[in-house]
Structure 1
Amino acid sequence: MAERLVWTPADGSPPLDLSDESAGFVWQAEGTRGLRSVVYSFTSQSYAGIDGDEVQAVRAEANHPSIGMLVRARNVDEFRARTRALVHALRPKAGPGTLTVTTEDGRARRLVCFYEGGAEGDESDETTMPGRWWKLILRLYAPMPWWLGDPQRVELGLGAPTTFFPIFPLVLSPSTIQGQFTVDLSDTDAPAYPVWTITGPGSSIELTNQTTGRSILVDTALGPGESMRIDTRPGARSVRRLVDSPEGPVPGELLTGALQGDPALWPLIAGVNRVTAALAGATADSRITGEFEPRYAGV
């Protein structure tokens, strides 16, 4: 089939190409479900004497896609090795893996999910020929239902800014990083949550989404080479200084008390976002960097 499916195990072992026929793995349309859209649920209220319901909230349910698979081999030993490799790569106790679907035009989207079932084995004639082939349907569970697109990045500084689609920064002052840029997420289906890294020297960091009117202001100072991170991702929201380590910068002191603006730490909406960023007292070594992953309902 045209789309390539790759499973990346949670334990860091090599990815398993579920569409590599030379390795005996073939994914099939039969049994494959849930790749095109999430499922939505509604919270509603009805009132006496009023027709219909009032919708109060819409949410995307956890994703439960399934993948139809055929495992083939030339002999019993090869069959056992391939099925064992598949089951081992999928094991959920190692943590969530990542299913990556790549289309013919090279676009890739990723779903972080657990293997839920389907590879237990059915020895009936319709699903297997011992030592030769095995038909199965892998059932997956994604607590966070959205498919992630390629990571996007923007960097602002006093020198020439590095730009990445779809962002266009402007440097407006020789002593203050004060940029404005547009992030067009009109083709996405859910908000994206950026991680901002600010490298000093500088002070009074301000990030504003002009489209939504929400601002983040951190009233703190960074010395030369010092840095901090504003993480807006659900479950990881925080404002921290970064501390150098042999593995690179790691989160350090919480700066919650220095947060003057939006305590919820705003996201980028699924639409056009006009964003401004400012850092006072900057030099040529100062930087504001933003990174995020677009979110989609399906591949």
Structure 2
Amino acid sequence: MDSIKWIRSDGTEYSLTGQSDIKVLFDREGFFMPPVSYVEEAVPIEDECSGTSIQEGKTVRRLNIEPREIRMRLRVSGANPAELRQNVRKYMKAFSPLFGDGKLQVTTPDGIVRVLYCRYLDGLKGQENPDELTTTTQTLPLVLIAYDPYFYSEASTSITITEQSTTTSFFPFFPLTLNYAGSFGEVTINNDGDATAYPVWTIYGPADFFKVSNLTTGEAFLIDGNVENGAIIGYSRYATVDARPGNYLIERSDGTNLFEYRSPDSVLFGFQPGENKIRVEIAGPASETKVDLNYQTRHLVV
């Protein structure tokens, strides 16, 4: 049986399993594949001679992974009616929609820990009938919605790239520091998730310009410009490049927006499932120059 925890946006944690005052009943839904939809188009293929159709049906133009709903039934308990009502209030507050997105953290029997970013949608209305309410228990249906339907690895994978060493493959198990060879550095990252993983880069100066390329997909971003004495990032400063959808950011540590200094063909790329060969190029580096990389893998099922 999975261990389930709700973490409110302010960091308050509520264990929903293994507790005396609440349990998740065994009729939950939404923990495996999310709903999908397809953008379709009718494309009949005709015989050039007769003009008759030789292929029926439609073709798929795009796959959409839709928002995911999590459905659970919670049974809240108390030693007496007063304690029961206090516990019901506690869990109602835990899932208050006023707190926005929280994290549903699930630990599976094989030790995998994943989180889903979601919020309250429906259910906690308090059905008061003999099947749902006794003097010491209250059964509450709960519906959460995840507009981002992917489960994420609990911990981020962290890498530090410095100048001049050897290329290696990296499998995301724990944070560590590595050195690589290349214009500044190269690394092969193995994304073991089900979908593209979007990183956050931190480039520590000095650097006259920097370019980061995914040699596997052909995508890259280049930041160049005379921002400070010829350097895009000066000594004792850094730039953050956030490629996560909805969080796009290219900003220096002093608050300078560097979006205008990116090349027109720049793409804030992610890591496709499988191997991704990454190259970092930096002009004008010094011993202090380094690149930190952090990302979480994304999964269709818990």
Task: Establish whether TM, by shorter chain, passes 0.5.
Answer: yes
- 1:270 maps to 2:273: yes
Match of 1:248 in 2: none
Match of 1:184 among 175, 187, 190: 190
Cα shift at 1:61: 0.3
Match of 2:212 in 1: 207
* Secondary structure in structure 2 of the residue aligned to 1:285: coil
Q: Residues 168 and 180 of structure 1 are in contact (CA less than 8 Å); yes or no, is this contact kept in structure 2?
A: no
Cα shift at 1:169: 4.8
How is 1:36-115 mapped onto 2 (pairs within 5 angstroms)? 36-48=32-44, 49=53, 50-115=55-120
- In 1: Cα distance, 2:220 partner to 2:16 partner: 44
- In 2: Cα distance, 1:276 partner to 1:47 partner: 41
Unpaired runs of at least 5, structure 2: 45-52, 226-230
- 1:171 maps to 2:177: no
Cα offsets for 1:218-240 (capped at 9, x unmatched): 11422111111111111121211
Match of 1:194 in 2: 199
CA-based RMSD of the aligned residues comes to 2.2
Cα offsets for 1:47-68 (capped at 9, x unmatched): 3433121100001001111122
Cα offsets for 1:121-166 (capped at 9, x unmatched): 1111111213x112222100111111111211111124889x9743
Match of 1:21 in 2: 19
Q: Residues 188 and 294 of structure 1 are in contact (CA less than 8 Å); yes or no, is this contact kept in structure 2?
A: yes
Give TM-score, length-normalised by structure 2: 0.87
- In 2: Cα distance, 1:146 partner to 1:79 partner: 34
- In 2: Cα distance, 1:293 partner to 1:209 partner: 17
- In 1: Cα distance, 2:164 partner to 2:31 partner: 43
- In 2: Cα distance, 1:113 partner to 1:72 partner: 25
- In 1: Cα distance, 2:284 partner to 2:181 partner: 14
Aligned residue pairs total 281
Match of 1:240 in 2: 251
- In 2: Cα distance, 1:165 partner to 1:76 partner: 52
Give TM-score, length-normalised by structure 1: 0.87
Match of 1:128 in 2: 133
Cα shift at 1:104: 2.9
Cα shift at 1:109: 0.7
Aligned residue identity for 1:133: T
Match of 1:257 in 2: 260
Unpaired runs of at least 5, structure 1: 244-251
Percent identical residues = 27
Cα shift at 1:201: 1.2
